[in-house]
Amino acid sequence: MLKQPLWFYLVLLCLPGFATATPIDFDFRDPVIESLDDRAELSLERLGITLTAIASNGVFNRTSAGFGINAEGAGDDTDNIDAGSGLVEFIDIVFDVDVSLLGFAVSGLGASDIGAYNLDGLITEFSTSGFIDLGGVYLATGKKIAVQHVDGNGFSLDSFTVQPYSAPEPPMVLLLCLGLPLLAFARSAKPWNKIRRGICRNGAGPA
């Protein structure tokens, strides 16, 4: 049984972000990724969305410890995003459809390690492991977001999470958001109208 009147839930459905699609997770730590090692570009498909990852230099490498870039150079950490080879490593992420970026997960960041993501030229740094929340920001088809090393020993890129981007036509949204709550309110008001008419007929209404 609903605890609130029907119009309450209809209004919620019209609020931005209330009705959302299922999050889609691209897991770079999945053992199947090892079959895609030793290449500079890899593609993963989930629920009709394809993510393409492009290594800045070197090739991708997934191990039980992490996922990153294996670049030439004696100092390179082969399963992290770092700068041990003498070049700052980064991974470009591109999707084949419009998406909402929910975030990505990283691990292996120490006290002096710093990473960043670059979206439309805006660089945002992070320094702790875990889920980096992107808040559902829009990314158009073919546009990229880059995850990169900034300082320290590097880190592993563990996963990337998105939702399909959906932008309903404004006229339809306006009709739903205005019309449905009013209709529901009118229906909920009918019992009270009947009671009020009955009171007036019995002479118990206001003089």
Q: What is the pLDDT of residue 15?
A: 53
Structure tokens given for 125: 């740094």
Decide if 162 contacts 99 (C-beta within 8 A): yes
Q: How far is CA 148 from the centre of its chain?
A: 18
Q: Give CATH for domain 22-164.
A: 2.60.120
Decide if 91 contacts 56 (C-beta within 8 A): yes
Query: How many C-beta atoms surround the C-beta of residue 146 within 10 A?
Result: 16
What residue segments make up the domains of the chain, in order of their start? Answer: 6-11+168-201, 22-164
Q: Classify 150 as helix, strand or coil.
A: strand
Q: What is the pLDDT along the chain (207 residues), one digit of tens a residue?
A: 555 555 555 555 555 544 457 999 999 999 988 888 899 999 999 999 999 999 999 999 999 999 999 998 778 889 999 998 889 999 999 999 999 999 999 999 999 999 999 999 999 999 999 999 999 999 999 999 999 999 999 999 999 999 999 875 555 555 555 655 665 555 665 555 555 555 555 555 555
Q: What is the pLDDT of residue 171?
A: 55
